[in-house]
Amino acid sequence: MKEGNKKTILVTGGAGFIGSHLCEKLLGQGNKVICLDNFFTGSRDNISHLLKNKNFTLIERDIINNFNYGGSLDQIYNLACPASPIAYQHDPVKTVKANVKGSINMLELAKEKSAGILQASTSEIYGDPLVHPQGEDYWGNVNPLSPRACYDEGKRCAETLFADYQREYGVDIKIVRIFNTYGPRMAKNDGRVVSNFIMQALSGGEITVYGDGGQTRSFQYIDDLVEGMIKMMEKNNFIGPVNIGNPGEFTIKELAERVIKLTGSKSNIVYGDLPEGDPKQRQPDISLAKKKLGWEPKIKLEEGLLKTIGYFKEILNK
């Protein structure tokens, strides 16, 4: 399509935390958006405000199953996969199927429709990294037998499938590796560190830090991620992979202390055993994103946390 024309875009996992924000942004640009979700981790509440938009279509479907779409498609954003440890370890075999069978189904659809397709990959493909920060040329340190491997190795295999469909069939692919992302519409019980800490702080309970709290993460606000994904999809002659994340690095203990301060909570920090396979460090090298996409995150941690805390306060008051 010519630059400036509105597109028909399929977003798998479109009712999820990230997917709902992406659908909202794409609709705001005037595009026609088809949201496909099986509501395993997605929520109708995330997209309820979009349902009256004439350019928005919701299809309840699992991408593991064949999906035939009769109309034309310009782009596919493939986000459908449980992304928190609680969710993806609930049914690890299905998690692998979502990444492998689901990716094949979407790649076949992209091939049929001559559509561009973006894979929402993850920083988890780097595993417990031996290189810090992590650049796209690092191949990772992943235990294929760990409880987390259904997600880590599933996403790694999905990247392989995307690369092979590009080489063998000429499919127009994009791969983004998403680092820790937070913001409104996170599920309150998904087990992710930001939502956990905020919910524990707002309820006045103890804040649970696993290990000694010295392990690090880099936290990216949802609006920055969505901007990076769209920039990647629109970028010509660049397939990635590319890291999309905030290089600001914080220890888990520092995050807990920041949440306590911003919520005004009286919560105490308690310590538990570190889960198996939990990486000690996680920080993106975003040099490639800056160079190729002209992208870097804009929202600082405190600003993003305040917006997220406001969202969870609303949820608790309903």
Active site residues: 151
Point out which residues pair with 183 in neighbouring strands.
none
Other Cβ atoms within 10 Å of 233 Cβ, number:
21
Compute the distance between CA of residue 318 and CA of residue 315 in angstroms, rounded to an integer.
5
Compute the distance between CA of residue 238 and CA of residue 260 in angstroms, rounded to an integer.
42
3-state secondary structure 111-171: HHHCCEEEEEEEHHHHECCCCCCECCCCCCECCCCCCCHHHHHHHHHHHHHHHHHHHHHCC
Backbone angles phi, psi at 165, to 5 degrees: -65, -30
Please state whether 219 falls in left (phi above 0), alpha (psi between -120 and 50) or beta: beta
Run of H or E including 193 = helix 193-203
- Indicate the residue type of 9: I
Compute the distance between CA of residue 138 and CA of residue 129 in angstroms, rounded to an integer.
9
